[in-house]
Structure 1
Amino acid sequence: MDAPGAREYARFHAADDLGGLELLSARFIEHRFAPHVHDGYVIALVEEGAERYRYRGEEHLVPAGSFALLNPDEVHTGSKGSEQGWRYRVFYPDTGLVESLLGELELPNSGLPMFRGNVHADPDLAAALGHLHRLLEDPGASVLRRQTQWREVMLELLRRHAALPTPRQPGSEPLAVARARELLASRLAEPPSLEELAAVVNLSPFHFARVFRRATGLPPHAWLKQRRLEQARMLLKAGCVPIEVAAQLGFADQSHLARQFKQAYGVAPGEYRRACAR
């Protein structure tokens, strides 16, 4: 595979923390896909140019900012839909992964969902898909965040474009939320995965994530981020230097701490520490 700086490139990745979910980032110009099938779903977001493909006996054009949805075992092709070709991001969730998500939502078993339509201009969902894909490619992103956002985006995609029944509203589950908050607060540097959190409180991962958000107003990874920043502020006020704070609280590095701290409080960690010392 070529590097992204080349005229054409293709970068493949498998997310082990999401059951081996396969991902592709690519730019193609002259490449043409012969008729083929996938045994799972295809979710293809075009970010630049346009892709043309044949599916169910018809030609379809996917312009930048839109996405194509293909069901399992459907023959399709792929080629450029503009002179500059196309740059896109693709998710290939297999049927077992989608079935497990639906099982977590405790929906009636009515078989595999099928996407309706082909090409969709759905701006906020397209943005969410692009953000999720980049997140899943980022080796520094936390497993907790990746697993939570994957579920949230897929739920919205299936609700909008596969006639998925609306899941029941999550209950309050105060004891489960309290236990999860305790566990997260005790493991700021090495947070548990979504599956581990859910197992501790005896809920399915998807149901737990929705219960937690309803109770706190934040998904688990965002709640964890707030607690890390609060603890960072306390340590800096006590005189700890930023590099030690970053290491102690599980930030990827000092610059990671600096970005998040400034976003939250408007000043850099070092500046905050010096001001408190004065």
Structure 2
Amino acid sequence: MIRASPTEAGIDRIEARFSGNGFSPHRHDTYALGLTISGVQTFRYRGEKRASLPGQVIVIHPDELHDGGAGTERGLRYRMIYIPPELIGEALKPAGFAELPFVATPVLSDPHFRQDLGEALEDIDREMGAFKRESLLTDLAACLNRYADSGRSRKAALHWPAIRDCASYLKESCGEDIRMEDLESIAQMDRFSLARQFRKAFGTSPHRYLVMRRLDKVKTMLAKGEGLAVASVEGGFADQSHMTRHFKRAFGMTPGHWRRLCTANERVV
């Protein structure tokens, strides 16, 4: 079962309960920060099997392959917040950090981090509101930065306005056929520089970012009762099978399975 909060400023929060294997290998284009509430959460990440116990914090970096499931027969309950990397980058920008923080250890036992994350994940059925959301973003960015590699540069060399304009264009035009030349024109830089800067700012490539925005549109349409075929085409995919492959790769389940979980949650509520 999955409970999802309203999306705020691109931030999503969920509570999930599973027995056995919950998700097959997949990637997010966001930071995924989790708190294990009960049970043992197991997952493979960066070539190793990991386990999180109740009270421990999970940190998954954007675009890192991982799976997830319950480590015991008792099942698993956890909460996650998915934060667009640009929000983390903007929170750390005043301190002069140009690159996104990378936390090599995905399972942490840190009371301060746990408290900040717990506040972000409480009242999951309600919106956080702008003041709480912005305060917690600052706190969570600081937590990530504290555990990040120490060799990161403080020289802010990113062309943020150009990169943000590209991201906005990809989001607004996700259902259309987009060419790299379009982004080069918007950013006024060559595709190689653009790709490097985009990854530093968003933690993933422009193409991967576009695919995720198309999947966001598909999820919105499915939640409103639209059929898979129509949602696929309107979302910018060639056909339903094309969309399904990307959906499973991104979320670790088929779109039909995702819709059934959401429907089951509505019945429970």
Question: Whole-Å Cα distance in 2 between the matches of residues 75 and 133 of structure 1?
Answer: 23
**CA root-mean-square deviation:** 2.4
Question: Whole-Å Cα distance in 2 between the matches of residues 157 and 136 of structure 1?
Answer: 21
What per-residue deviation string (whole Å, max 9, x for no partner) do you get for residues 215-261 of structure 1?
xxxxxxxxxxxxxxxxxxxxxxxxxxxxxxxxxxxxxxxxxxxxxxx
Match of 1:26, SS state, is strand
User: After the TM superposition, which segments of 4 or more aligned residues of structure 1 sit over 3 Å from their partners?
Assistant: none
Match of 2:144 among 158, 176, 187: 158
Shift in alpha-carbon separation, 1:73–1:149, aligned structure 2, 3 A: closer
Query: Which protein, 1 or 2, shows the higher relative CO under an 8 Å CA cutoff with sep ≥ 6?
Result: 2
Q: Which runs of 5+ in 1 are unaligned?
A: 1-8, 168-278
Matched residue pairs, number? 153
Using the size of structure 1 for normalisation, the TM-score is 0.50
Match of 2:105 among 98, 117, 125: 117
Is residue 12 of structure 2 the alignment partner of residue 12 of structure 1?
no
Match of 1:107 among 90, 93, 96: 96
Matching residue of 1:195:
none
Q: Conserved in 2, the CA contact under 8 Å of 1:135 and 1:146?
A: no
Question: Whole-Å Cα distance in 2 between the matches of residues 143 and 135 of structure 1?
Answer: 15
Cα displacement (A) at 1:44 = 1.3
Q: Which runs of 5+ in 2 are unaligned?
A: 155-269
Cα displacement (A) at 1:135 = 5.0
Matching residue of 1:181:
none
Q: Conserved in 2, the CA contact under 8 Å of 1:14 and 1:20?
A: no
What per-residue deviation string (whole Å, max 9, x for no partner) do you get for residues 130-160 of structure 1?
1221156434x553233223322x1331232
Q: Which amino acid aligns with 2:5?
A: H
Match of 2:72, SS state, is coil
Matching residue of 1:78:
68
Using the size of structure 2 for normalisation, the TM-score is 0.51
What per-residue deviation string (whole Å, max 9, x for no partner) do you get for residues 9-35 of structure 1?
21122442xx22111111111342111
Question: Whole-Å Cα distance in 1 between the matches of residues 117 and 83 of structure 2?
Answer: 13
Is residue 136 of structure 2 the alignment partner of residue 144 of structure 1?
no
Larger Rg: 1
Match of 1:32, SS state, is strand
Is residue 40 of structure 2 the alignment partner of residue 50 of structure 1?
yes
Q: Conserved in 1, the CA contact under 8 Å of 2:14 and 2:124?
A: no
Question: Whole-Å Cα distance in 2 between the matches of residues 108 and 151 of structure 1?
Answer: 14
Calculate percent identity across the aligned residue pairs: 29
Match of 1:20, SS state, is coil
Match of 2:5, SS state, is strand
Cα displacement (A) at 1:55 = 1.0
Match of 1:116, SS state, is coil
